[in-house]
Amino acid sequence: MSTVLTSLGWTVWAACFLLASIELMGCATTTAVTPKLVGQEAPACKLHATIVYDGNPDYLPGALISDPDAAEKLIFRYTYRADYGLKQLPSAVQLVNPLNFVGFPTGTNTVVVTGNLDVMRRSSAIRSYAAAASVTRAGTMFSEGETFTAMRRRGLMLVRDNISGQLCQDRLALEKLLENTSPQPGQDGEH
C-alpha cells in the first residue's frame, strides 16, 4: 500500500513539475546580444564628439557625449533598426489544444534590434561598431507577457550598452583619432 502511495506521490510531483515548467516557459523572456564582449568588463569612459543621431536620447550609447566644441572633422553617426516577428500557432490548433489551460505557449514574439555606430571622416567611415540583440517571449492563453514596445526598449538598451562597451575597449585608438582631428590653437582648418 505504501509503495503504491509513494509511486502515486512521485507521479503527482512529476505532473506538478511538468505543469509548472510549461507555465513558466510561457512567461519567460529570453535575450541574446552579439558580439560578446571579451575580457573584463570595459571601464566606463566618455568620448566627447560631434554626434549625428535623431532618435530617442535614451538609446544613444552612454560613452558618447555630444560636444559642440569637438572636432567637426570626426563625426560619430549612430543608427538603429528594430525588426519584429510574430509567430502564432495555427488557429485550429489553438482552439482544440487542451494544454492551453495549463499555460502552453500559443505563440512567440521576437524583436531583433541592430545598432551601428560609424566614425566618419569626410563622409567616409573610418571605423564601425555594430551590435545586435534578440528578445523573444512566448504568450499563453492567460498572459501575453511583455509587449513589443517593452521588448524593443529592452533590445535597444542591450545594443546601446554593448556598443558603449566596444567603444570603451577601443578607447585609446578613438582618443588618438579625436586628438589628431581637433583644431590646434592658432589653426583653423585642415592642412
**Which residues sit at the interface with other proteins, rule CB under 8 A?**
55-56, 82, 84-86, 88, 91-92, 94-95, 100, 106-107, 109, 139, 141-144, 147-150, 152-153
Task: Output the smallest distance, CB 161 to other proteins, in A.
Answer: 19
The smaller minimum CB distance to other proteins, of residues 29 and 182, is found at 29
The smaller minimum CB distance to other proteins, of residues 18 and 93, is found at 93
Task: Output the smallest distance, CB 115 to other proteins, in A.
Answer: 13
Q: What is the dihedral of CA 10, 11, 12, 14, to 10 degrees?
A: 80
DSSP state of 101: G
CA distances to 1, 31, 74, 106, 136 from 122, in Å: 85, 37, 8, 51, 39
Task: Output the smallest distance, CB 68 to other proteins, in A.
Answer: 23
Residue 177 corresponds to which cell in the numbers above? 583619432
Residue written as grid cell 506521490: 9
DSSP state of 58: G
What 3 state SS string does 23-45 have?
Answer: HHHHHCEEEEEECCCCCCCCCCC
Task: Output the smallest distance, CB 103 to other proteins, in A.
Answer: 11
The smaller minimum CB distance to other proteins, of residues 46 and 87, is found at 87
Task: Output the smallest distance, CB 82 to other proteins, in A.
Answer: 8
The smaller minimum CB distance to other proteins, of residues 48 and 148, is found at 148
The smaller minimum CB distance to other proteins, of residues 9 and 55, is found at 55
66 touches 51 (CB < 8 A): yes
List the alpha helices (DSSP H) in the chain. 2-27, 91-96, 148-169, 171-181
The smaller minimum CB distance to other proteins, of residues 45 and 141, is found at 141
Task: Output the smallest distance, CB 48 to other proteins, in A.
Answer: 26
